[in-house]
Amino acid sequence: MQNTTSVPEFHFIQLSEDPDLQTVLFGLFLSMYILALFGNLLIILTVSSDSHLHTPMYFFLSNLSIVDIGFISTTVPRLIMDIQTPCPVISYVGCLTQMSLFIIFAYMDDMLLAVMAYDRFVAICHPLYYQVIMNSSRCYELLLGSFLLSLLELMLQYVAISKFSNYEDYIEISNFFCGSSEVLKLPCFDSFTSNIVRYCVGTLFGFLPISGIIFSYFKIVSSIMGSSPSSSGKHKTFSTCGSHLSLVCLFYGTALGVYFSSSLSFSPRSNAVASVMYTVVTPMLNPFIYSLRNKDIKTALRQILSRALYH
């Protein structure tokens, strides 16, 4: 890389310049961060402490909670610190570090949702072979594969970042964190290479996982409708997928909302507010969606609480 010392720091935009509102935002984001940590740690503790939850589905769920903790910790602590800073800035190295961690955790989230859909597909469509197909080795292979694909996505992003031209005197990130889409839109980067990499990454790591999720649920619905079980059996089967579908809708719904808002809106602050849903609200709500809609999780939580009260 060249010219990395011409601009030692990047400038973030502020969500609000009103001092009173900044105080409210500080308390709000701090509360949301603590709630996200509590909820995800509770899921991890519940799954690890209850032997009945030592199954592939909950193995991936606990790893999703670990990734969500890393995902929200990449942006929110810095945001809390910057809210009451008159001119929030970040160094070049700090920006690349935050962007790298954000990419890895975001696409690990993406991949794990696809893997969880595959797990539901095997469990419902091939129940007799489920223990054979989704053995512990296969689960760790899928987890490792998700991580390696996230690293591959990061390397592809760096292909575009390495093709940059000279920095200007003042660089402003049109968000409250260093995301790859914001960094690659800066005028100091080669636009042609950046667009090619962004479209390739969007296809490989956006279209393919969601296609796998859609295909898995298409086969699930076809299998259930073709086998003609009882109404209660259908309801029970669909209920096991309801929590996962809620996570998928929340994740992709907020991500698409951020994408379209950044494409249609000319206000950087509006884009930053839209990004809050994707980077803060989604990791915070994921554990509560799963715990509220899942009987096994609720039962395990009650047992943990009862043991804690009686001991």
Residue ranges per structural domain of the chain: 9-310
- Give the single-character DSSP code of 185: T
Per residue in 246-304, pLDDT tens? 888 888 887 777 666 655 655 666 677 778 888 888 888 888 887 776 777 888 888 87
pLDDT tier, 4 (very low <50, low <70, confident <90, very high otherwise): very low
Check whether domain 9-310 has CATH 1.20.1070.10, yes or no? yes
> Per mean pLDDT, which range of 77-86, 100-109, 172-181, 244-253 is the poorest?
172-181
Res 33: pLDDT? 94
Q: Is the pLDDT of residue 1 over 50?
A: no
Per residue in 241-254, pLDDT tens? 877 888 888 888 87
The 3-state secondary structure of 105-130, one letter per residue = HHHHHHHHHHHHHHHHHHHHHCHHHH
* Helix residue ranges per DSSP H, 126-230: 130-133, 136-161, 180-184, 191-202, 208-227
Per residue in 29-63, pLDDT tens? 999 999 999 999 999 998 998 888 889 989 999 99
Per residue in 143-167, pLDDT tens? 999 999 889 888 877 766 765 555 5
**Mean pLDDT of all residues in 180-198:** 67
The chain-wide mean pLDDT, for the chain, equals: 80
Which pTM value belongs to this model? 0.86
CA distance 64 to 51: 19
For the chain, give the percent of residues with pLDDT over 90. Answer: 24
The string of DSSP letters for 246-308 reads HHHHHHHHHHHHHHHHHHH---HHHHHHHHHIIIIIHHHHHHHHHHHH-HHHHHHHHHHHHHH
pLDDT tier, 140 (very low <50, low <70, confident <90, very high otherwise): very high
